[in-house]
Structure 1
Amino acid sequence: MASVSSSVQKKFQPVQVPNPNKESVFSEYSKLLDKEINGWLLEKIIKHSNKTCVFKCSKKEYDEGNETFRFFKRYCAMKMIRKGTYDSDTSFENECLILKHIGSCYKKSVYKMYLPQLFDFKKTITYNYLFMSLYGSNLEDIMRRSSEKRLEFKSWLLTIESIFTGLKALHHINIIHLNLSPKNIVVDFEELGRQNKRVVARIIDFGLAMKVNFDVYKKDIKLDIESSACGTYEGNQIGNFYYRSLYLHRGFSPHYRDDIFSYLYIIMKLYSGLPWSEKDDEIKVREKKMTVTSDELKSYLPKYMGEIVDYILKHDYFLTGDYDYILQYLKHFIQLTGINWNDKCDWEVKTNLLKCW
């Protein structure tokens, strides 16, 4: 990663970071607008809280291949995180390492479009800063703002295909996300529009992700989901328990299958809901996951998706072919419904779904 120039450091040093104890936090964050940090100009506040703030940033870059327009504007999102509120420095540094690994593996790959890029990062005494791909609202916020509290069918189908493609890309470079939820899946930033018509949604937030030393071909990690046995993995409380796999609830070591089960729960939630309620505590959610039948899970999805539910439930591990099978199944479903990738999604038509506050 390129080192920060002395001129940029001088620009950065005088910037006063917001005090989350002040009455008007937004006003304090606003003082950073039109200033530069690490060469990025802070243009707009996308989202904020007392502990974090996300800015839309830009910088001018020189394009040697374009003789007409030598300079172009490059955008990013700067996530500003107060230390001690992001699982300390550990999650921040872990996310940086994971994003750097993604970037090195998919620098020239088509999968680059499905995953965020890390442009830069900076640590100070009070705040950590991540400069990464600029995206828009997450699916949880979009559903919350929707009168139906779910995605329309067309948007749902295009979205779940994009999510699974991104998940396949992660797993094939030995990364398990471990915190998949609608809150950690985002669409393109509203002012820039869809950057690629085939990419509707992307997975973000890799603070809990793991890079493992076994790949998707490994066959010797099997477990009967009905077994009463429990594992001893000390990190079994990781991730959002609402979407956590039953394997992690029982304390087994993380595996690719955990993300696959989270994916299943997410696509059900986006379509109609889940057998457990958001009002249920972790114990209640775990009990329902242990007793729910495949037919009940299928009832929360279109009938055509029943085969996918069975396929996931019957495979304790995933091989390369499993991902391709599910992706081809989803693509065929899109073709059967006559949906086109040029069709607009909910949030591209109803712009109120994209408001950040």
Structure 2
Amino acid sequence: MATVRRRRIANPDTLSGVLKSRTHHFNPEEIVRHFASVTEERVDSLAEALTAYISVNLPAAFERRDGLADYRTNPYVLMTSASVMRLDDPQAFGTFLFNSKLYMALETSFGKQIEAAFVSQYPIGSQNKWIEAPEKRAEFTALEGLSRERKAQQRLNSVWREIDKSVVVGDRRYLTSIKSGPNTINDTQVQGMTRAIIDNYRAWVEQTRATYPEVTGIDVVLGLTYGTDRTTNNKENQILVKLLENGFVEEDRERCPGVLIDSETGTVRVYRCIGMDFWAFIGQPNNRQAASFVFLEVLLALSKALGRGVENADIETRINLKLQQLALALSRLLFPRQSLPAWVRDDFSESQLFWFATAVTAFFDEGI
């Protein structure tokens, strides 16, 4: 695991500066100590929940792409990457293009489902587990039967849209919005999440009291599934800074840096958890220090599930077939040299024309 330390920072008096000062140093001895808390039963349970899902849905991440039109990507970045990496033949270029699209697919919708499968197994020792908020489910149920356009319009009024998972532990309810990694939050999402908290935190409290009468307060947590305090793009901290100007104050910077409370009642806490701290929060939200090993359980379970799922679905063979199909399609792209203007024939190499031809596909739907 990592030993957490504070480092010297340029702006030590700002909230972002304080939060960025935390550093995580890899310590093999701490990893070994954490293994004492990891249980085989939990790892097996997590792996079992994931294996069947991976067998069905991992192939879906690439098999729905039939032709070059389904591999469309930024043509300018595509040509630059291809030239730098010397990808000047269809087989190498096809492998690069396939891997790029597969990675992006896994980091978005597929990755989101993996996270959901993990969090539903926790918290440790709690009868209640992480679930989609019942109030959010009710909002979506109310939209059944509406057209796609009408649903999109109604979702603008959603109170629970930004909340991914919820759990009650003791007398507090924990709500979390899960982001895949340290650089996935953009300025639009900062604005969206900030407005969601400012506009809806009172409704979250009110509806929580109706759903869970025993709850006396809520924690709203922005969770990043990997990374460290230093490696984020700082967008999660910007959300906290903006909240300080809109009804929230720091609870205690020395004792719990980065934790805000609403100035109106003091019952709503807002903070962010990153990487290991996020998984500790998932494992035991009311006592994160006691669950600092949970990220190891998650990684072990994913490794185990991938081994089973990839083998069961014969994914390697299916990927190789897709690569062959993509390489064949790319090999047919080249323009006959005699059909090109003389200055193009003279100035452009075969590799340059190949990169050009692949980039052209980004502008067409059919015939490629």
TM-score range (shorter-chain normalised) is under 0.3
TM-score after normalising by structure 2: 0.24
Q: TM-score, normalised by structure 1?
A: 0.25
Return the structure number with greater helix share: 2
Greater gyration radius: 2
